[in-house]
Amino acid sequence: MHIQNNGENFQPCPEHIGPAVCVDVTPLEMMQTRYGPKEKFRFVFEIGQMKDDGSPWCVWSAPFTPSYHEGATLRPFIRKWIGRELSMDEIRNFDTEEMLGRTAHITVIHEYSDGKVYANIVLIQPDGAAQPLKPSGKFVRMKDRSPKGLNELSPNGDPCPEPTGGPEPSSFTRRSYDE
């Protein structure tokens, strides 16, 4: 049986400074951390640039635990994204799904580790563009994909692979694309 490496043709999101729009909040997934296994999720952003095949470039955030505690990494990420601290009422009612379609101004850089390329969101800010970026409609949310999620096609027939691998990031995003 021939085994394919599904990630070998996947390219990382290009380095980018500019608008992005949140197109997914991934389902919780158990991940090993230095403190033991934890449930984590990610935000997925389209950057508005298209690949040669017409599908949008996407970048995945770092994994977050579903906690808005003062020490949680989610809190400063959201604060920087919306440009302010959430009120106590907003914290009590915070739902990550409400971030879908929300725009941001992000900086994505490439970092290299162990021969792998990682596309990292190193800065996120509120988007002040007069014409906010709209989702392309081509990205298939993780919760709507088949159980394996690989080689999933969007409604238009475009591939929407999920990047795989990579160590837990020290910055906002770190994803490996050549495993």
Q: Report residue 10's pLDDT band, with 50, 70 and 90 as the boundaries.
A: low
Which percentage of the chain shows pLDDT scores above 90?
63
110-138: per-residue pLDDT in tens?
A: 999 888 999 999 999 999 988 999 999 99
Checking if the pLDDT of 99 tops 60, the result is yes
Here the tokens at position 77 are 């990420």
Q: Residue range 82-94: average pLDDT?
A: 94
Helix (H, G, I), strand (E, B) or coil at 162: coil
Q: Rounded mean pLDDT of 87-110?
A: 95
Instruction: Give the mean pLDDT of the chain.
Output: 82
Indicate the domain borders of the chain.
16-144
pLDDT for position 8: 54
Query: What is the arithmetic mean of pLDDT over 2-23?
Result: 75
The rounded distance, in Å, linking the Cα atoms of 46 and 37 is 29
DSSP letters along 5-26, please? Answer: -TTTT--PPPPEEEEEEEEEEP
Longest dimension (CA), the chain: 56
State both tokens at 151.
């080689």
Does residue 72 register a pLDDT over 50?
Answer: yes
Query: Which carries the bigger pLDDT value, residue 89 or residue 6?
Result: 89
User: Given this model, what pLDDT does residue 146 score?
Assistant: 82
Q: Does domain 16-144 have CATH number 3.90.25?
A: no
The DSSP call for residue 101 is: T
Beta-carbon neighbour count of residue 43 at 10 Å? Answer: 29
Q: What is the CA radius of gyration of the chain?
A: 16
21-69 confidence digits (pLDDT tens): 999 999 999 999 898 999 999 999 999 899 998 889 999 999 999 999 9
Give the predicted TM-score (pTM) of the model.
0.78
- H-only helix segments in 4-162: 74-82, 88-92
Alpha helices in 16-160 (DSSP H): 74-82, 88-92
More confident residue, 176 or 38: 38
